[in-house]
Amino acid sequence: MSALTRYFLLLSLSAFVSARADTTNLASNQDLSKLSLQELLNIEVVSVSKFSQKAANAPSDVTVISADEIRNFGWRTLADVLGSARSFNITSDRLYSYAGVRGFAPLGDYNNRLLLMIDGMRINDNVYDQAMLGSEFSLNLDMVDHVEIVRGPGSSMYGNNALFGIINLITKRGQEVGKRLTISADTLKSGSVQGSMGGRLDNDAEYLISASHEYAPGEKLTFPEFAPGNTVTSGTDSLHNSRLFSKFSQGGFGVMVNLSKREKLNPAALSSGLFDDPRNKMVDQQGFFDGHYTWSATQSTEWTARLFAGSHQYHGDYVYNDPVILNRDFGRGDWLGGEFKGDTHLGIDHRLVYGVELQRNTRQRLYNYDVDPYYLYHDTNKTGFRKGYYVQDEWHMNDALNATVGARFDQVTGINDQVSPRLALVWHSNPDTIWKSSYGTAFRAPTAFESFTNRGRLLPERIQTLELSFEHYLSSELHMTVVGYDYRMENQIASNPDYDPASPGNYYINLPQLRGRGFEIEAEKLWDGGARLRTSLDIPYLRDDQGQWPINSPKWNFKLNHAQPLDSHWTLGMEEQIVGPQRSNLGQLGSSAITNLTLSRRMGSNGWEFSATIRDLFDRRPDQPVLEDYMALNARDTVPNVARNINIRLVRRF
């Protein structure tokens, strides 16, 4: 069955179920059905300008994914959430998940052109600048109230890494979570358990603590590239993952701690030479602390002081043959810092946000050695800092027109000082139509890892983006968004195609220029019975300095998500993702499609919640592109995707 045929089949099924639901009285969904799309979509966001503002007035293209959507579509990782969102395409090499944005999807970039935050706290590490999105992400999605996805450059407020967007996960309140136990299992014999406890104390303080563990034995996999020898591996794809999250708040004071450790075996023997060896593995440990206090200095000014600290440790074991040697690779980063922010209303027309952010990198260590016989290849440790000073003015020119002007000045160890401006206009031409235009720049400094692997100095990446969006409410139940964008990236840091491990030179190089253009269209429909449909199409057009279409850049992306209430408690979620053709390291990959179905029951008065999700309904298992592997004995450009499976999830609230 072709991808196009499946799309029309799913769309027809969605329309049929919706038509049936319109004749059904869903008493428990009356509150939802009374809300128009304008009311549902015009919610408050904090990630764009570091203060709460309506999404319709934010000077960026913003999408908010709610906890209800996460449940309705059975998403288990942040990569699942982003994979459903306009502008994004997700791939996985069975070790980590990677996000491409607006066609830009270089392989093996560790997502370091996205800024990832939890409740406004940066969690990109200071060695690889990695934004972890899959099972490696430190937070369980059950603790997430909503996800704010901000597209476009964000360095004018946040500095390094925010080239293509900002992902901010807003966690749930303690009293909303209560006491609950969550258990899940799937047909691949994977399972997880989570216990959570939260509430409000007599002094109005709120607390939340959650701990979880996940285990997966992995699949039996075939890798034809290892022929004529053994091509099948079993027991080399397992996963162990533990997470702890806690927070406490009272008044303007808040504290958060997030810890995680994940061990993932390497079934494809990526960056290794010996296939089907369970010693090939990667371990990631992360720890984050954030404390903040907000108070009103005057009637018009609010201050926020924040202290934060983080740690990330990576450990990789790689087995090589001729002779068989176990090599161990380590990366360790520790940092601490603070931010002081002011938020001042200058009359009714201007709102000024300004502040300073400092981070001290106390450790950026990389070391590598062979175990037996012992041989140390390198052991290097760096320290550094980043400082940022920002200011932004939001000017209400009249009732229909808002202007935003802002800039940030950054000093980062190892690169020249950076200035990142942003200019934006938001025009409500009528109550049903919103126009947004924006221009911004952003930068990314070379990571500690990239700098270490190079003999020469790498320049920081810079991007300039011009964006125009149009939002129109055709009715209170139908909303459409059209976005056009144009960006230029200079000094893109990329793996060197001429790199030779036999005579190492520069593993990374700066490329001259990349140009990206494209448009996106999204429609969202809400029915009286509570059914909701969101569909989008992204068409990017990218060219590098040689006029070539970049590797792993899909020529189009189509998304469809339909949540259909079946009665007062049950919901059917249908999801389709179709990715257009793209280049790989060795040739061309055709279009691919994934269809997912989720049947879920909301938390009832008896304290039970249930969901069942079928991943990859038609078992297409589209191959996942991977970075060229200089250490592999045989050439490869893909690894197999996860097989079709059914996941059952039970939640008990006490």
Instruction: State pLDDT tens for residues 606-635.
Output: 899 999 999 999 999 888 998 877 666 567
Give the mean model confidence (pLDDT) for residues 229-254. Answer: 95
**Domains by residue range for the chain, with CATH:** 3-653 (2.40.170.20)
Give the mean model confidence (pLDDT) for residues 568-595. Answer: 92
Q: What is the pLDDT of residue 9?
A: 47
Q: Give 433's pLDDT tier (boundaries 50, 70, 90).
A: very high
Q: For residue range 138-152, list pLDDT tens digits in order.
A: 999 999 999 999 999
Q: What is the pLDDT of residue 628?
A: 75
Measured between alpha carbons, how far is residue 41 from residues 65, 125, 367, 525, 572 in Å? 10, 32, 48, 12, 21
112 has a pLDDT exceeding 60: yes
Q: What is the pLDDT of residue 238?
A: 97
Instruction: Name the 3-class secondary structure at 280.
Output: coil
Give the mean model confidence (pLDDT) for residues 283-298. Answer: 96
Give, for 18, the enclosing helix (H) or strand (E). helix 3-21
The span from the CA of 389 to the CA of 341, in Å, is 10
Beta bridge partners of 277: none
Q: What is the CA radius of gyration of the chain?
A: 24
- Percent with pLDDT over 90 in the chain: 79
- Which tokens hold the place of 374? 């012992």
Q: What is the pLDDT of residue 228?
A: 85
Residue with tokens 């499976």: 645
464 has a pLDDT exceeding 90: yes
- Which tokens hold the place of 450? 């990239």
Tell which wins on pLDDT, 587 or 598.
598
Give the mean model confidence (pLDDT) for residues 10-15. Answer: 46
Q: Note the Cα 480 to chain centre separation in Å.
A: 24
Measured between alpha carbons, how far is residue 315 from residues 97, 100, 262, 331, 626 in Å? 17, 25, 10, 7, 20
Q: For residue range 442-455, list pLDDT tens digits in order.
A: 999 999 999 998 87
Q: How many C-beta atoms lie closer than 10 Å to residue 201's C-beta?
A: 12
Q: How many C-beta atoms lie closer than 10 Å to residue 44's C-beta?
A: 12
Q: Give 407's pLDDT tier (boundaries 50, 70, 90).
A: very high
30 has a pLDDT exceeding 80: no
581 has a pLDDT exceeding 50: yes
28 has a pLDDT exceeding 80: no
Q: What is the pLDDT of residue 4?
A: 44
The span from the CA of 534 to the CA of 529, in Å, is 16
Q: What is the pLDDT of residue 5?
A: 46
Give the mean model confidence (pLDDT) for residues 430-448. Answer: 96
Q: What is the pLDDT of residue 7?
A: 43
Tell which wins on pLDDT, 491 or 635.
491
Q: For residue range 357-389, list pLDDT tens digits in order.
A: 999 999 999 999 999 999 999 999 999 999 999
The span from the CA of 50 to the CA of 157, in Å, is 8
- Which tokens hold the place of 570? 């049950």
260 has a pLDDT exceeding 60: yes
